[in-house]
Amino acid sequence: MLKETLIQAAQAGAHVMKTYFEQQFTVAFKNEGMNNLVTEVDTKSEAAIIDVIQQQHPKHAILSEELGTLVQDSVYKWIIDPIDGTINYANGIPICCVSIAIEKEGEMILGAVLNPFMNELFVAEKGAGATLNGMKIQVSANSALLNSCLVTGFPYAYIDSPNGPIQVFEKLIRKGIPVRRLGSAAIDLCWVAAGRFDGFYEHKLNAWDSAAGFLMVQEAGGKVTDFAGNAYSPYQPHIIATNGIIHYALQQVVNGGNL
């Protein structure tokens, strides 16, 4: 029942995204970062998602990017990004998605990421694997960081810290390692899970950015940690997600080491 509701909710948000894509809609700016956008489609997608959830599970708690936290006395919490990749969406770039995860008693148990423009629905269930459009997926078997294809993102408000995102990016590309920047952390993580990328790292994410995607990577046989190598929690900002084989090597670079 939970899984069915999860997919229905993702489809409801995706329908809103497709309806308004490349149409006129209002755009506002959030406080953090000059290009950190929110559109009216974000809020409409969010409302459609939450409506599906509350019709079927009215007592469940919700954490959503635009709404914030809806506190309920429940062991279940839905973590929602109604449009992950809002800048892409606002500019007519079809690399964006709905991302929804379900947490039970502090553990992520289900996740769905739906890109309606590529017709790709990723679903992960704790202990049952990850799928793309119903077909099982798994991480890559690449064994060398130097031969890897990586993906990353940059925070809207740059954090001026030693070995920050620009420094790590430069270090990798100066060695000839291809590092992509797609603009959607949820899609980045799903594409690691599907073996399209060998690894992903980012310095500053929120829970709704990674809650579904990190479960996707784990259930596809990959590894996800914080920068220190600890078990990953979406409630802290740092993430490294890989096929597991190159994980330690990428972790060393992200923490200031050399290739």
Domains in the chain: boundaries: 2-136, 145-254
Residue type for 133, please?
Answer: N
Q: What is the DSSP letter of 231?
A: B
Can you give the pLDDT at residue 24? Answer: 79
- pLDDT tens by residue, 5-24: 999 999 999 999 999 998 87
CA angle in degrees (0–180, nearest 5) for 91-78-237: 65
Can you give the pLDDT at residue 156? Answer: 72
- pLDDT tens by residue, 40-79: 898 999 999 999 999 999 999 999 977 777 778 899 999 9
Say whether pLDDT at 231 is over 80. yes
Can you give the pLDDT at residue 70? Answer: 72
Say whether pLDDT at 34 is over 60. no
Q: Is 53 helix (H, G, I), strand (E, B) or coil?
A: helix
Q: How confident is the model at residue 219 (pLDDT cuts 50, 70, 90)?
A: very high
- pLDDT tens by residue, 162-187: 788 999 999 999 999 999 999 999 99
Which parts of the chain fold into alpha helices (H)? 2-20, 40-56, 86-90, 165-173, 185-193, 207-219, 247-254
Can you give the pLDDT at residue 27? Answer: 75
Structure-model confidence comparison of residues 216 and 155, the more confident one: 216
Say whether pLDDT at 226 is over 80. yes
Structure-model confidence comparison of residues 193 and 154, the more confident one: 193
CATH 3.30.540.10 is the classification of domain 2-136: yes
Using CA atoms, how far apart are residues 113 and 100, in angstroms rounded to an integer?
6
Say whether pLDDT at 29 is over 90. no
Can you give the pLDDT at residue 158? Answer: 64
* Strand pairing report for 61-64 and 37-39: unpaired
Residue 34 CB-density burial (10 A; 0-12 exposed, 13-18 middle, 19+ buried):
exposed
Can you give the pLDDT at residue 30? Answer: 64
Say whether pLDDT at 33 is over 70. no
Average pLDDT over residues 119-143: 98
Can you give the pLDDT at residue 210? Answer: 98
Architecture of 145-254 per CATH?
A: 3-Layer(aba) Sandwich (3.40)
DSSP, residue by residue, 57-70: -TTSEEEETTTEEE
List C-alpha distances in Å: 113 to 11, 82, 83, 225, 251: 10, 10, 10, 20, 26
Can you give the pLDDT at residue 242? Answer: 98
Say whether pLDDT at 1 is over 70. yes
Average pLDDT over residues 188-201: 98
Can you give the pLDDT at residue 31? Answer: 60
Q: Which of 25-29, 37-41, 208-212 has the lowest mean pLDDT?
A: 25-29
CA angle in degrees (0–180, nearest 5) for 110-20-95: 55
Average pLDDT over residues 124-151: 98
Name the CA dihedral angle for 15, 99, 191, 36, rounded to a multiple of 10 degrees.
100
Say whether pLDDT at 159 is over 80. no
